Protein backbone atom coordinates (compact mmCIF):
# COMPACT_ATOMS: atom_id res chain seq x y z
CA UNK A 1 0.00 0.00 0.00
CA UNK A 2 1.29 3.40 0.91
CA UNK A 3 4.56 3.33 2.77
CA UNK A 4 4.02 7.00 3.69
CA UNK A 5 1.72 5.77 6.46
CA UNK A 6 4.77 5.19 8.59
CA UNK A 7 7.76 6.66 6.82
CA UNK A 8 11.31 5.96 7.83
CA UNK A 9 13.69 8.75 8.86
CA UNK A 10 17.01 9.17 7.07
CA UNK A 11 19.99 10.86 8.66
CA UNK A 12 23.39 11.42 7.09
CA UNK A 13 26.27 11.10 9.55
CA UNK A 14 28.15 14.38 9.96
CA UNK A 15 31.40 15.32 11.66
CA UNK A 16 29.60 16.70 14.69
CA UNK A 17 27.90 13.32 15.31
CA UNK A 18 31.20 11.50 15.82
CA UNK A 19 33.32 10.85 18.88
CA UNK A 20 37.02 10.27 19.39
CA UNK A 21 36.85 6.90 17.62
CA UNK A 22 35.37 8.46 14.48
CA UNK A 23 32.10 6.62 15.22
CA UNK A 24 28.69 8.07 15.93
CA UNK A 25 28.59 8.65 19.68
CA UNK A 26 26.28 6.47 21.81
CA UNK A 27 24.38 9.49 23.01
CA UNK A 28 23.77 10.87 19.55
CA UNK A 29 21.79 7.75 18.58
CA UNK A 30 19.18 8.73 21.15
CA UNK A 31 18.70 12.00 19.29
CA UNK A 32 18.39 10.09 16.01
CA UNK A 33 15.72 7.87 17.58
CA UNK A 34 13.94 10.91 19.02
CA UNK A 35 14.01 12.59 15.60
CA UNK A 36 12.39 9.49 14.09
CA UNK A 37 9.76 9.39 16.83
CA UNK A 38 8.87 13.05 16.21
CA UNK A 39 8.29 12.18 12.54
CA UNK A 40 5.86 9.49 13.67
CA UNK A 41 4.23 11.73 16.26
CA UNK A 42 3.68 14.42 13.63
CA UNK A 43 1.60 11.94 11.65
CA UNK A 44 -0.30 10.19 14.41
CA UNK A 45 -0.60 12.60 17.34
CA UNK A 46 -1.72 16.13 17.97
CA UNK A 47 1.00 17.00 20.48
CA UNK A 48 -0.11 20.62 21.04
CA UNK A 49 -3.63 19.35 21.79
CA UNK A 50 -2.22 16.85 24.30
CA UNK A 51 -0.22 19.63 25.94
CA UNK A 52 -3.37 21.75 26.18
CA UNK A 53 -4.98 18.84 28.05
CA UNK A 54 -1.99 18.79 30.43
CA UNK A 55 -0.98 15.39 29.08
CA UNK A 56 2.65 14.61 28.19
CA UNK A 57 4.08 11.57 26.45
CA UNK A 58 6.94 10.71 28.81
CA UNK A 59 9.70 8.17 28.12
CA UNK A 60 10.23 5.85 31.09
CA UNK A 61 12.66 3.32 29.62
CA UNK A 62 15.06 3.06 26.71
CA UNK A 63 16.85 -0.23 26.05
CA UNK A 64 19.29 0.21 23.16
CA UNK A 65 21.69 -2.26 21.54
CA UNK A 66 24.65 -0.88 19.64
CA UNK A 67 25.41 -3.45 16.92
CA UNK A 68 27.70 -1.73 14.42
CA UNK A 69 29.50 1.57 14.23
CA UNK A 70 28.49 4.29 11.80
CA UNK A 71 30.98 6.72 10.32
CA UNK A 72 31.21 10.00 8.42
CA UNK A 73 28.91 10.12 5.38
CA UNK A 74 27.02 6.92 6.21
CA UNK A 75 23.31 7.36 5.65
CA UNK A 76 21.20 5.79 8.37
CA UNK A 77 17.56 4.83 8.02
CA UNK A 78 15.36 4.52 11.10
CA UNK A 79 12.15 2.49 11.31
CA UNK A 80 9.69 2.91 14.18
CA UNK A 81 7.05 0.34 15.08
CA UNK A 82 4.69 -0.40 17.94
CA UNK A 83 5.75 -3.50 19.83
CA UNK A 84 3.32 -3.42 22.76
CA UNK A 85 0.28 -1.41 23.88
CA UNK A 86 -0.49 -1.88 27.59
CA UNK A 87 -2.97 -0.27 29.95
CA UNK A 88 -0.63 2.45 31.09
CA UNK A 89 2.31 2.23 28.70
CA UNK A 90 3.28 1.79 25.08
CA UNK A 91 6.53 0.34 23.79
CA UNK A 92 7.98 1.29 20.43
CA UNK A 93 10.62 -0.74 18.64
CA UNK A 94 13.09 1.33 16.64
CA UNK A 95 15.70 -0.03 14.29
CA UNK A 96 18.54 1.87 12.62
CA UNK A 97 19.97 0.39 9.42
CA UNK A 98 22.62 1.46 6.97
CA UNK A 99 20.43 2.81 4.17
CA UNK A 100 19.34 0.28 1.55
CA UNK A 101 20.90 -2.65 3.40
CA UNK A 102 19.73 -5.14 5.99
CA UNK A 103 22.80 -4.35 8.10
CA UNK A 104 21.63 -3.07 11.46
CA UNK A 105 23.46 -0.33 13.35
CA UNK A 106 21.36 -0.20 16.50
CA UNK A 107 17.96 -1.21 17.76
CA UNK A 108 16.01 0.02 20.73
CA UNK A 109 12.81 -0.42 22.66
CA UNK A 110 11.39 2.84 23.98
CA UNK A 111 8.58 2.78 26.53
CA UNK A 112 6.23 5.70 27.14
CA UNK A 113 3.56 6.55 29.64
CA UNK A 114 0.99 9.32 29.55
CA UNK A 115 1.71 11.72 32.37
CA UNK A 116 -1.16 13.88 33.58
CA UNK A 117 0.34 17.10 34.90
CA UNK A 118 -2.77 18.04 36.90
CA UNK A 119 -2.84 14.66 38.66
CA UNK A 120 0.95 14.53 38.92
CA UNK A 121 1.14 10.91 37.80
CA UNK A 122 0.97 8.49 34.91
CA UNK A 123 -2.59 7.61 33.93
CA UNK A 124 -4.35 4.94 31.89
CA UNK A 125 -3.85 5.56 28.20
CA UNK A 126 -6.67 7.81 26.97
CA UNK A 127 -8.83 6.09 24.34
CA UNK A 128 -7.77 8.50 21.62
CA UNK A 129 -4.07 7.87 22.22
CA UNK A 130 -4.58 4.12 22.35
CA UNK A 131 -6.40 4.36 19.02
CA UNK A 132 -3.61 6.36 17.44
CA UNK A 133 -0.97 3.87 18.58
CA UNK A 134 -3.30 1.18 17.19
CA UNK A 135 -3.33 2.98 13.83
CA UNK A 136 0.46 3.19 13.98
CA UNK A 137 0.66 -0.54 14.76
CA UNK A 138 -1.57 -1.28 11.78
CA UNK A 139 0.34 0.99 9.44
CA UNK A 140 3.53 -0.96 9.94
CA UNK A 141 2.00 -4.08 8.38
CA UNK A 142 1.99 -2.21 5.10
CA UNK A 143 5.70 -1.49 5.14
CA UNK B 1 37.33 3.38 54.44
CA UNK B 2 38.14 5.79 51.65
CA UNK B 3 35.18 6.81 49.57
CA UNK B 4 37.60 8.31 47.04
CA UNK B 5 38.15 4.78 45.74
CA UNK B 6 35.01 5.15 43.71
CA UNK B 7 33.83 8.72 43.92
CA UNK B 8 30.43 9.85 42.75
CA UNK B 9 30.00 12.50 40.06
CA UNK B 10 27.96 15.63 40.75
CA UNK B 11 26.30 17.63 38.01
CA UNK B 12 24.23 20.77 38.44
CA UNK B 13 21.32 21.02 36.04
CA UNK B 14 21.68 24.01 33.68
CA UNK B 15 19.34 25.65 31.20
CA UNK B 16 21.02 23.94 28.26
CA UNK B 17 20.27 20.49 29.74
CA UNK B 18 16.50 21.02 29.65
CA UNK B 19 13.88 20.32 27.01
CA UNK B 20 10.54 21.86 26.21
CA UNK B 21 9.02 20.51 29.43
CA UNK B 22 11.68 22.21 31.57
CA UNK B 23 13.05 18.75 32.44
CA UNK B 24 16.46 17.30 31.74
CA UNK B 25 16.20 15.74 28.29
CA UNK B 26 16.36 11.93 28.00
CA UNK B 27 19.39 12.13 25.80
CA UNK B 28 21.32 14.38 28.14
CA UNK B 29 21.24 11.73 30.88
CA UNK B 30 23.42 9.53 28.68
CA UNK B 31 26.04 12.26 28.70
CA UNK B 32 25.76 12.52 32.48
CA UNK B 33 26.30 8.75 32.76
CA UNK B 34 29.21 8.92 30.34
CA UNK B 35 30.77 11.75 32.36
CA UNK B 36 30.51 9.58 35.50
CA UNK B 37 32.05 6.59 33.70
CA UNK B 38 35.00 8.71 32.55
CA UNK B 39 35.60 9.67 36.18
CA UNK B 40 35.74 5.96 37.02
CA UNK B 41 37.87 5.13 34.01
CA UNK B 42 40.36 7.84 34.98
CA UNK B 43 40.90 6.03 38.28
CA UNK B 44 40.90 2.43 37.16
CA UNK B 45 42.00 2.31 33.55
CA UNK B 46 44.85 3.57 31.42
CA UNK B 47 42.76 4.46 28.38
CA UNK B 48 45.65 5.83 26.27
CA UNK B 49 47.56 2.56 26.92
CA UNK B 50 44.53 0.54 25.79
CA UNK B 51 44.27 2.66 22.66
CA UNK B 52 47.96 2.03 21.94
CA UNK B 53 47.19 -1.70 22.12
CA UNK B 54 44.36 -1.16 19.60
CA UNK B 55 41.81 -2.05 22.28
CA UNK B 56 38.66 0.04 22.77
CA UNK B 57 36.05 -0.17 25.52
CA UNK B 58 32.86 -0.22 23.44
CA UNK B 59 29.33 0.12 24.80
CA UNK B 60 27.01 -2.55 23.36
CA UNK B 61 23.87 -1.99 25.45
CA UNK B 62 22.33 0.73 27.59
CA UNK B 63 19.12 0.02 29.48
CA UNK B 64 17.96 3.17 31.27
CA UNK B 65 14.91 3.82 33.44
CA UNK B 66 13.73 7.40 33.83
CA UNK B 67 12.11 7.58 37.28
CA UNK B 68 11.76 11.27 38.13
CA UNK B 69 12.31 14.52 36.30
CA UNK B 70 15.16 16.87 37.17
CA UNK B 71 14.87 20.62 36.73
CA UNK B 72 16.97 23.79 36.64
CA UNK B 73 19.38 24.06 39.56
CA UNK B 74 18.87 20.48 40.80
CA UNK B 75 22.18 18.88 41.76
CA UNK B 76 22.43 15.27 40.62
CA UNK B 77 24.81 12.71 42.05
CA UNK B 78 25.80 9.67 40.00
CA UNK B 79 27.09 6.39 41.43
CA UNK B 80 28.76 3.79 39.24
CA UNK B 81 29.19 0.14 40.25
CA UNK B 82 30.09 -3.15 38.63
CA UNK B 83 27.11 -5.45 38.39
CA UNK B 84 28.53 -8.31 36.31
CA UNK B 85 31.90 -9.37 34.90
CA UNK B 86 31.57 -11.96 32.14
CA UNK B 87 34.06 -13.60 29.79
CA UNK B 88 33.59 -11.07 27.03
CA UNK B 89 31.58 -8.29 28.63
CA UNK B 90 31.20 -6.18 31.74
CA UNK B 91 28.01 -4.54 32.98
CA UNK B 92 28.05 -1.40 35.08
CA UNK B 93 25.09 -0.25 37.15
CA UNK B 94 24.72 3.52 37.34
CA UNK B 95 22.27 5.38 39.54
CA UNK B 96 21.44 9.09 39.48
CA UNK B 97 20.03 10.60 42.67
CA UNK B 98 19.01 14.07 43.71
CA UNK B 99 22.04 15.04 45.81
CA UNK B 100 21.88 14.13 49.48
CA UNK B 101 18.61 12.25 49.10
CA UNK B 102 17.61 8.68 48.39
CA UNK B 103 15.26 9.90 45.67
CA UNK B 104 16.32 8.35 42.39
CA UNK B 105 16.13 10.22 39.08
CA UNK B 106 17.32 7.48 36.74
CA UNK B 107 19.17 4.20 36.80
CA UNK B 108 20.88 2.35 34.02
CA UNK B 109 22.81 -0.78 33.19
CA UNK B 110 25.60 -0.20 30.68
CA UNK B 111 27.34 -3.18 29.06
CA UNK B 112 30.81 -3.00 27.49
CA UNK B 113 32.95 -5.28 25.44
CA UNK B 114 36.62 -4.99 24.58
CA UNK B 115 36.93 -4.44 20.86
CA UNK B 116 40.25 -5.37 19.26
CA UNK B 117 40.72 -3.11 16.26
CA UNK B 118 43.35 -5.33 14.64
CA UNK B 119 41.12 -8.41 14.89
CA UNK B 120 37.99 -6.40 14.04
CA UNK B 121 35.93 -8.02 16.78
CA UNK B 122 35.18 -8.21 20.48
CA UNK B 123 37.65 -10.37 22.38
CA UNK B 124 37.83 -12.07 25.77
CA UNK B 125 38.46 -9.52 28.48
CA UNK B 126 42.25 -9.15 28.89
CA UNK B 127 43.42 -10.18 32.38
CA UNK B 128 44.49 -6.66 33.26
CA UNK B 129 41.10 -5.19 32.41
CA UNK B 130 39.28 -7.94 34.28
CA UNK B 131 41.45 -7.19 37.31
CA UNK B 132 40.70 -3.48 37.13
CA UNK B 133 36.96 -4.07 36.96
CA UNK B 134 37.47 -6.45 39.90
CA UNK B 135 39.17 -3.64 41.83
CA UNK B 136 36.28 -1.35 40.93
CA UNK B 137 33.77 -3.98 42.12
CA UNK B 138 35.65 -4.27 45.41
CA UNK B 139 35.89 -0.52 45.90
CA UNK B 140 32.16 -0.12 45.90
CA UNK B 141 31.80 -2.23 49.05
CA UNK B 142 33.58 0.56 50.88
CA UNK B 143 31.09 3.20 49.86
CA UNK C 1 18.80 28.74 -13.25
CA UNK C 2 19.19 25.67 -11.12
CA UNK C 3 18.79 26.32 -7.43
CA UNK C 4 20.22 22.85 -6.72
CA UNK C 5 23.66 24.36 -7.24
CA UNK C 6 23.55 25.61 -3.68
CA UNK C 7 20.53 24.14 -1.98
CA UNK C 8 19.23 25.37 1.34
CA UNK C 9 18.95 23.06 4.37
CA UNK C 10 15.62 22.63 6.13
CA UNK C 11 15.34 21.58 9.75
CA UNK C 12 12.15 21.06 11.73
CA UNK C 13 12.41 22.13 15.35
CA UNK C 14 11.99 19.19 17.72
CA UNK C 15 11.56 18.92 21.48
CA UNK C 16 15.20 17.98 22.00
CA UNK C 17 16.34 21.23 20.33
CA UNK C 18 14.64 23.43 22.92
CA UNK C 19 15.80 24.86 26.23
CA UNK C 20 13.99 25.88 29.38
CA UNK C 21 12.33 28.82 27.62
CA UNK C 22 10.81 26.55 24.95
CA UNK C 23 13.15 28.16 22.37
CA UNK C 24 15.84 26.56 20.29
CA UNK C 25 18.98 26.68 22.41
CA UNK C 26 21.83 29.01 21.33
CA UNK C 27 24.21 26.10 21.05
CA UNK C 28 21.92 24.04 18.89
CA UNK C 29 21.98 26.70 16.15
CA UNK C 30 25.67 25.98 15.67
CA UNK C 31 24.77 22.38 14.87
CA UNK C 32 22.11 23.59 12.43
CA UNK C 33 24.71 25.79 10.71
CA UNK C 34 27.21 22.91 10.67
CA UNK C 35 24.58 20.63 9.14
CA UNK C 36 24.00 23.21 6.39
CA UNK C 37 27.74 23.57 5.77
CA UNK C 38 28.11 19.78 5.40
CA UNK C 39 25.42 19.88 2.73
CA UNK C 40 27.46 22.49 0.89
CA UNK C 41 30.73 20.63 1.44
CA UNK C 42 29.20 17.47 0.04
CA UNK C 43 28.56 19.30 -3.20
CA UNK C 44 31.70 21.35 -3.55
CA UNK C 45 34.48 19.55 -1.71
CA UNK C 46 36.00 16.11 -1.59
CA UNK C 47 36.54 16.00 2.17
CA UNK C 48 38.00 12.46 2.29
CA UNK C 49 40.53 13.53 -0.39
CA UNK C 50 41.49 16.59 1.68
CA UNK C 51 41.92 14.38 4.75
CA UNK C 52 44.17 12.06 2.74
CA UNK C 53 46.32 15.10 1.93
CA UNK C 54 46.49 15.89 5.67
CA UNK C 55 44.45 19.05 5.08
CA UNK C 56 41.55 19.98 7.35
CA UNK C 57 39.00 22.76 6.96
CA UNK C 58 39.15 24.32 10.43
CA UNK C 59 36.74 26.93 11.79
CA UNK C 60 38.60 29.81 13.44
CA UNK C 61 35.73 32.24 14.10
CA UNK C 62 31.96 32.17 14.38
CA UNK C 63 30.05 35.43 14.81
CA UNK C 64 26.35 34.70 15.26
CA UNK C 65 23.41 37.03 15.83
CA UNK C 66 20.29 35.60 17.41
CA UNK C 67 17.40 37.68 16.01
CA UNK C 68 14.23 35.74 16.80
CA UNK C 69 13.34 32.65 18.77
CA UNK C 70 12.26 29.44 17.10
CA UNK C 71 9.84 27.03 18.76
CA UNK C 72 8.52 23.48 18.49
CA UNK C 73 7.40 22.55 14.97
CA UNK C 74 8.87 25.65 13.30
CA UNK C 75 10.61 24.74 10.06
CA UNK C 76 13.89 26.59 9.58
CA UNK C 77 15.63 27.10 6.27
CA UNK C 78 19.36 27.79 6.16
CA UNK C 79 21.19 29.50 3.30
CA UNK C 80 24.98 29.39 3.01
CA UNK C 81 26.97 31.82 0.88
CA UNK C 82 30.57 32.87 0.43
CA UNK C 83 31.17 36.35 1.76
CA UNK C 84 34.97 36.62 1.44
CA UNK C 85 37.83 34.56 0.01
CA UNK C 86 41.21 35.66 1.38
CA UNK C 87 44.72 34.32 0.99
CA UNK C 88 44.56 32.08 4.02
CA UNK C 89 40.90 32.13 5.01
CA UNK C 90 37.37 31.97 3.70
CA UNK C 91 34.29 33.45 5.33
CA UNK C 92 30.84 32.01 4.80
CA UNK C 93 27.66 33.90 5.54
CA UNK C 94 24.82 31.74 6.82
CA UNK C 95 21.26 32.89 7.36
CA UNK C 96 18.46 31.00 9.08
CA UNK C 97 14.90 31.97 8.16
CA UNK C 98 11.49 30.71 9.13
CA UNK C 99 10.64 28.64 6.06
CA UNK C 100 8.91 30.50 3.21
CA UNK C 101 9.21 33.85 4.97
CA UNK C 102 11.73 36.67 5.01
CA UNK C 103 11.73 36.62 8.81
CA UNK C 104 15.24 35.90 9.98
CA UNK C 105 15.96 33.75 13.05
CA UNK C 106 19.74 34.02 13.12
CA UNK C 107 22.64 34.92 10.88
CA UNK C 108 26.29 34.10 11.23
CA UNK C 109 29.66 34.58 9.62
CA UNK C 110 31.88 31.52 9.84
CA UNK C 111 35.57 31.79 8.98
CA UNK C 112 37.71 28.82 7.96
CA UNK C 113 41.38 28.21 7.37
CA UNK C 114 43.09 25.25 5.77
CA UNK C 115 45.18 23.53 8.39
CA UNK C 116 48.05 21.37 7.15
CA UNK C 117 48.56 18.62 9.73
CA UNK C 118 52.07 17.79 8.53
CA UNK C 119 53.19 21.43 8.80
CA UNK C 120 51.17 21.98 11.99
CA UNK C 121 49.81 25.30 10.82
CA UNK C 122 47.33 27.10 8.59
CA UNK C 123 48.53 27.42 5.01
CA UNK C 124 47.63 29.45 1.94
CA UNK C 125 44.42 28.20 0.41
CA UNK C 126 45.31 25.50 -2.14
CA UNK C 127 44.26 26.46 -5.67
CA UNK C 128 41.71 23.68 -5.87
CA UNK C 129 39.97 24.77 -2.68
CA UNK C 130 39.99 28.40 -3.73
CA UNK C 131 38.38 27.36 -7.02
CA UNK C 132 35.70 25.38 -5.26
CA UNK C 133 34.83 28.27 -2.98
CA UNK C 134 34.78 30.41 -6.12
CA UNK C 135 32.29 28.00 -7.71
CA UNK C 136 30.22 28.19 -4.52
CA UNK C 137 30.35 32.01 -4.63
CA UNK C 138 29.19 31.94 -8.24
CA UNK C 139 26.40 29.46 -7.57
CA UNK C 140 24.73 31.78 -5.10
CA UNK C 141 24.09 34.38 -7.79
CA UNK C 142 21.62 31.94 -9.27
CA UNK C 143 19.57 31.61 -6.10
CA UNK D 1 41.40 39.43 47.92
CA UNK D 2 38.87 36.66 47.49
CA UNK D 3 39.06 34.94 44.13
CA UNK D 4 35.79 33.21 44.90
CA UNK D 5 34.06 36.43 43.95
CA UNK D 6 34.30 35.36 40.34
CA UNK D 7 35.53 31.79 40.20
CA UNK D 8 36.67 30.12 37.02
CA UNK D 9 35.01 26.97 35.68
CA UNK D 10 37.08 23.85 35.00
CA UNK D 11 36.03 21.20 32.52
CA UNK D 12 37.89 18.01 31.70
CA UNK D 13 37.66 17.02 28.05
CA UNK D 14 35.83 13.69 27.60
CA UNK D 15 35.35 11.39 24.65
CA UNK D 16 31.84 12.65 24.03
CA UNK D 17 33.13 16.24 23.60
CA UNK D 18 35.29 15.33 20.61
CA UNK D 19 34.61 15.26 16.89
CA UNK D 20 36.05 13.26 14.02
CA UNK D 21 39.41 15.05 14.33
CA UNK D 22 39.77 14.07 18.00
CA UNK D 23 39.33 17.75 18.93
CA UNK D 24 36.63 19.35 21.01
CA UNK D 25 33.85 20.19 18.58
CA UNK D 26 33.14 23.87 17.82
CA UNK D 27 29.61 23.57 19.08
CA UNK D 28 30.60 22.01 22.37
CA UNK D 29 32.60 25.11 23.33
CA UNK D 30 29.35 27.06 23.44
CA UNK D 31 28.11 24.64 26.10
CA UNK D 32 31.35 25.09 28.03
CA UNK D 33 30.89 28.87 27.89
CA UNK D 34 27.25 28.53 28.94
CA UNK D 35 28.26 26.32 31.86
CA UNK D 36 30.73 29.01 32.98
CA UNK D 37 28.09 31.72 32.65
CA UNK D 38 25.66 29.73 34.80
CA UNK D 39 28.33 29.56 37.49
CA UNK D 40 28.57 33.35 37.37
CA UNK D 41 24.79 33.78 37.26
CA UNK D 42 24.41 31.58 40.30
CA UNK D 43 26.58 34.01 42.25
CA UNK D 44 25.32 37.32 40.94
CA UNK D 45 21.75 36.86 39.80
CA UNK D 46 18.50 35.51 41.15
CA UNK D 47 17.35 33.85 37.93
CA UNK D 48 14.10 32.40 39.36
CA UNK D 49 13.20 35.90 40.64
CA UNK D 50 13.85 37.36 37.17
CA UNK D 51 11.69 34.67 35.62
CA UNK D 52 8.90 35.51 38.07
CA UNK D 53 9.12 39.12 36.84
CA UNK D 54 8.79 37.82 33.25
CA UNK D 55 12.34 38.95 32.52
CA UNK D 56 14.76 36.70 30.64
CA UNK D 57 18.47 37.18 30.03
CA UNK D 58 18.65 36.51 26.29
CA UNK D 59 21.83 36.09 24.26
CA UNK D 60 21.74 38.19 21.08
CA UNK D 61 25.31 37.72 19.80
CA UNK D 62 28.22 35.33 20.29
CA UNK D 63 31.54 36.07 18.62
CA UNK D 64 33.96 33.21 19.27
CA UNK D 65 37.55 32.70 18.14
CA UNK D 66 38.91 29.16 18.09
CA UNK D 67 42.66 29.49 18.74
CA UNK D 68 43.92 26.01 19.64
CA UNK D 69 42.44 22.54 19.68
CA UNK D 70 41.72 20.70 22.91
CA UNK D 71 41.92 16.92 23.16
CA UNK D 72 40.96 14.00 25.40
CA UNK D 73 41.94 14.55 29.05
CA UNK D 74 42.87 18.23 28.63
CA UNK D 75 41.56 20.30 31.50
CA UNK D 76 40.14 23.63 30.39
CA UNK D 77 39.65 26.64 32.61
CA UNK D 78 37.12 29.31 31.70
CA UNK D 79 37.17 32.92 32.91
CA UNK D 80 34.18 35.21 32.54
CA UNK D 81 34.39 38.99 32.77
CA UNK D 82 32.22 41.98 31.97
CA UNK D 83 33.53 43.89 28.99
CA UNK D 84 30.76 46.43 28.43
CA UNK D 85 27.55 47.54 30.16
CA UNK D 86 25.27 49.51 27.85
CA UNK D 87 21.76 50.89 28.23
CA UNK D 88 20.05 47.86 26.83
CA UNK D 89 22.78 45.24 26.61
CA UNK D 90 25.72 43.74 28.44
CA UNK D 91 28.73 42.06 26.86
CA UNK D 92 30.72 39.40 28.66
CA UNK D 93 34.23 38.36 27.64
CA UNK D 94 34.98 34.69 28.18
CA UNK D 95 38.37 33.06 27.77
CA UNK D 96 39.16 29.35 27.78
CA UNK D 97 42.72 28.36 28.70
CA UNK D 98 44.50 25.07 29.12
CA UNK D 99 44.52 24.81 32.93
CA UNK D 100 47.49 26.40 34.69
CA UNK D 101 48.90 27.82 31.47
CA UNK D 102 48.55 31.08 29.58
CA UNK D 103 47.84 29.14 26.39
CA UNK D 104 44.42 30.13 25.12
CA UNK D 105 42.04 27.65 23.49
CA UNK D 106 39.21 30.00 22.61
CA UNK D 107 37.83 33.38 23.52
CA UNK D 108 34.40 34.84 23.01
CA UNK D 109 32.29 37.91 23.51
CA UNK D 110 28.71 37.15 24.47
CA UNK D 111 26.10 39.92 24.39
CA UNK D 112 22.84 39.78 26.35
CA UNK D 113 19.70 41.83 26.51
CA UNK D 114 16.90 41.76 29.04
CA UNK D 115 13.78 40.55 27.34
CA UNK D 116 10.48 41.46 28.95
CA UNK D 117 8.00 38.73 28.09
CA UNK D 118 4.96 40.84 28.90
CA UNK D 119 6.14 43.66 26.63
CA UNK D 120 7.47 41.24 24.04
CA UNK D 121 10.71 43.16 23.57
CA UNK D 122 14.11 43.98 24.98
CA UNK D 123 14.00 46.69 27.64
CA UNK D 124 16.46 49.01 29.35
CA UNK D 125 18.54 47.10 31.85
CA UNK D 126 16.72 47.18 35.20
CA UNK D 127 18.73 48.98 37.90
CA UNK D 128 19.18 45.81 39.93
CA UNK D 129 20.61 43.88 37.00
CA UNK D 130 22.91 46.74 36.05
CA UNK D 131 24.16 46.79 39.64
CA UNK D 132 24.81 43.07 39.64
CA UNK D 133 26.78 43.26 36.40
CA UNK D 134 28.62 46.19 37.99
CA UNK D 135 29.48 44.00 41.00
CA UNK D 136 30.65 41.30 38.59
CA UNK D 137 32.80 43.86 36.72
CA UNK D 138 34.31 44.97 40.01
CA UNK D 139 34.94 41.43 41.22
CA UNK D 140 37.18 40.65 38.28
CA UNK D 141 39.69 43.33 39.33
CA UNK D 142 40.43 41.17 42.33
CA UNK D 143 41.30 38.08 40.32
Q: Is C47 helix (H, G, I), strand (E, B) or coil?
A: helix
* pLDDT at residue C140 in the model: 67
Q: Determine contact, residues C94/C37, Cβ cutoff 8 Å.
A: yes
Residues lower than pLDDT 50 in chain C: 1-3, 142-143
Contacts of B87 by beta carbon, 8 Å cutoff, 6+ apart: B124, B125
Q: How many CA atoms lie within 13 A of D63 on its CB side?
A: 6
Cα–Cα distance between B47 and B53 in angstroms, integer?
Answer: 10
Mean pLDDT, all residues of chain D: 89
| pLDDT at res. C110 | 97
pLDDT band at A140 (very low <50, low <70, confident <90, very high): low
Q: What is the DSSP string of C62-94?
A: EEEEE-S---TT-EEEEEEEEEEE-SSEEEEEE
Minimal Cβ distance to B31: which of A27, A63, A67? A27
Catalytic annotation present for C19: yes
Output D142 or B61, whichever has higher pLDDT: B61
Cβ atoms of A78 and A72 closer than 8 Å = no
CB-closest option in B26, B62, B63 to A59: B26
Q: Give how far the C-alpha of residue A73 lies from the chain's centroid of Cα atoms, to the nearest Å.
A: 22
What is the arithmetic mean of pLDDT over B65-77? 95
pLDDT band at D137 (very low <50, low <70, confident <90, very high): confident
Partner A contacted by C46 (CB < 8 A): no
Q: How far is A26 from chain D (nearest CA, A)?
A: 9
The whole-model pTM stands at 0.90
Q: Does B50 touch chain A (CB under 8 A)?
A: no
Measured in angstroms, the CA of B14 and the nearest CA of chain C are apart by 9
* Mutation site, D28, D36, D60, D106, interface C, largest C CB count within 10 A: D60
Q: Among partner residues C26, C30, C66, which is closest to D26 by beta-carbon distance?
A: C30
**Contact present, D9 and D36 (Cβ < 8 Å):** yes
Share of chain B above pLDDT 70, in %: 94
C38 vs A contacts (CB less than 8 Å): 12, 14-15
CA distance C16 to chain A (A): 7
Integer Rg of chain D from CA: 16
Average pLDDT value for residue range B50-70:
92
Q: How confident is the model over A48-105, as pLDDT tens digits?
A: 788 888 888 899 999 999 999 999 999 999 999 999 999 999 999 999 999 999 999 9
End-to-end CA, chain C:
8
- Domains delineated in chain D: 3-142 (3.10.129.10)
Confidence of residue A2 (pLDDT cuts 50, 70, 90): very low
What SS3 class is residue A117? coil
The residues, any chain, with a CB within 8 Å of residue D72's CB and separated by 6 or more, are: A20, B47, D13, D14, D15, D18, D22
Q: Say if A12 is an interface residue toward chain C (CB within 8 Å).
A: yes
Q: Is the pLDDT of residue A1 over 60?
A: no
E strands, A41-133, where? 55-66, 75-85, 89-98, 104-116, 121-123
Amino acid sequence: MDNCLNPSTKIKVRGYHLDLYGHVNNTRYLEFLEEARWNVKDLFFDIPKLHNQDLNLVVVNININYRASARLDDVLEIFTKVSRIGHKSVTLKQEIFFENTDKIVADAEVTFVIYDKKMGKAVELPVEIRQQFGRLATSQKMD
